[in-house]
Chains A and B, each alone.
Chain A
Amino acid sequence: MSEDFISPDIHHERISHKSQESAHTGLSTKVIWKVFWILLAVTVFEVGISFTSIPKGILLYVFIGLTIFKAYYIIFFFMHMKFEQAALKFSILLPFVLIVYLIFIAIYEGIAIGLVNY
């Protein structure tokens, strides 16, 4: 077994060269500022449309959509998720399917208790 196979320092795991390259090239300062302007523009847009007379029911879904849009940019660019391995991506993101499920059952339950009216 060659020496470079198992590093003598267990804290210094072996990482393939690919990720280090993308760590340097994936996020340029230009991209960082671009993401910043996107996030700022979406936030200003959200505050702006909250004052219009668009029905609240439609507005709710617009806000949820834009929030997920912003979350995508924060997670995938600022938190570097876009440049990670697919295995890591899915390990982190898939559990949130459970959260989506919880949203549905909890909101449904909340409405139902409200209708019982005790």
Chain B
Amino acid sequence: MVTRSPKLALYAAFAGASFLAALALGRPELAALGAPFALVLVVGLALPPPPQVTASLRPTRQLAVEGEEIDAELVVSAISPAHDLQLALLLPDGIRALGRTGSLLLHVEPGRDRTLPLRLDCAHWGAHRVGTLLLRSRDLAGLRVLDSRITGNTVVRVYPRPQQLQSLVAPAETQPFAGNRVARTKGDGIEFAGIRPYLPGDRARRINWRASAARQTLYVNQQHPERNSDVIIFLDTFAEARRQDSSTLDLAVRAAASLADHYLATRDRVGLVGFGGVVRWLAPSSGATQLYRIVDALLETEIVFSFAWKGVDVLPARSLTPQALVIALSPLLDERSVAALLDLRRRGFDLVVVDISPLAFSAQPRDPDTLAAMRLWQLWREALRFGYERLGVAVAEWDGQRPLAEVIEEVRAFRRFARYSSA
């Protein structure tokens, strides 16, 4: 919508005041002072109104990994000459324009697209809608202004950069599908499991001649088959602790993406459960497509505030497959997620909890009361972790400062020596 600029009111007031003063004082020199302002008004308003301008931001690609830079083009066009076009690019929090930080003042010829190269820094993971622009065009005299806003509809998906993991938490049980994990059961495979007496139907190549000679009867070798496992990444989205542009959910999403990447690389099937105000799930599957499905689902993960009590009953059976390893990424802030994890363990799931510590996001206590409250909270969290450990659940705290690999090693160390109580 075309609006009048402050200049119009100022010039009109000045011209009117000078003409009145000239009449009142009988001094034509004062009219000569105001006449140029009146002339600008008359000529400026007789000129065409501000031109209608269209603009769009076109990134060269819409997929990127955190920290990458992508090229984009800003294309501006006008139906009549835009002498003084002011353009501001509104970018979402996770995307930054390199070089051009402020707004632009452009001259656009009619019928000729003006293309400006831009470089965008994908600073933070997320599905970012880019291309929202604020445009302000003026007529030649600057008396009328046309403001418009163009809402961008291009989504740039920035995937979290996966962390390097030296090892993974091995699931307690395997699935019947072929994979890279040595199963506990015996069958056709590579890893030696033991020997047993020969039975009719056993292949001659499996006979262990040394054992057979020692025992004076035929023995055959047994192997562990190579199978895959199901890993469910359980993301707690009930609550988060946030400070500036980082939060526990942010860390959890990064950890989830890293774990999914590494487990899928070892031919395991990986599923995702987002447990919070909105419950989302992806049934376990394997392959690169599943990785993209998981990461896309993670990008849309957000905290949805809800009072509704939810248990694991709301999850469909196919999202939590039997004998799956469940890796929960939770700040353990919400009672519902704490209870759901205990429920999962009591139902016999092989559970690991990565406690995304909210302590790193809390303010430093300054007075003794706050300090005491903080210590009580820490004690409560320790008691909660101990409760999980009593059920045979490995719990490791992650504050985002140390590598995720360290946390995984902690979990592995616990599971190596843990004695599972009857769940």
Q: Do A and B bind each other?
A: no
B-binding residues in A (CB < 8 A): none
A-binding residues in B (CB < 8 A): none
